[in-house]
Amino acid sequence: MVHLTTPLTEEAVLSLHAGDHVLLSGDVYTARDAAHLRMLDCIASGDPLPMPLEGQVIYYAGPTPTPPGKPVGSIGPTTSVRMDAATPALLARGLRGVIGKGQRGAEVVSAMQAHPSVYFAAVGGAAALMAACVTACEVIAWDDLGPESVKRLTLKELPLVVAVDAYGQDAFALGQAAYVQSIGK
């Protein structure tokens, strides 16, 4: 088990390999489809982004309403491929990691190699468990987007798996290949 704290350094990212289990702590930002479109608009117009990207991690999630006494409601991962069009531009600006579920496209994997970064997979269907790892939540941009607004979360040991590493190794592809090999014996 690898313990990491944000912001992530290039050295930390390069030490990770597809399939590694990670407990992530520190601040991360949430952003989903609508927020990514607005970030691309900011980049295109030369406007500043609502959060620093250098060494940061974006969690593709939109938490549910916050219950009394809790920092956040359930907060499960969103399907990552929906952010593929925006991800390379954010990685080029220093983003070091993203959290979501499902596979990534070839362009994102190439961008992760060009700008050392990592894709962490979170367990889908475990949104309540994920929420238990959030100690603070604050909306920092685009409140009008509701659950899709950009939020800063403070995490304590969020369990993740390195799905794609900075070398282009993909845990999904490696797992499928191992399975096919095992049934072929």
Catalytic residues: 36
Query: How, if at all, do strands 150-164 and 97-100 pair?
Result: unpaired
The residues, ordered by sequence, that sit 6+ positions from 1 with a Cβ below 8 Å of its Cβ are: 21, 22, 23
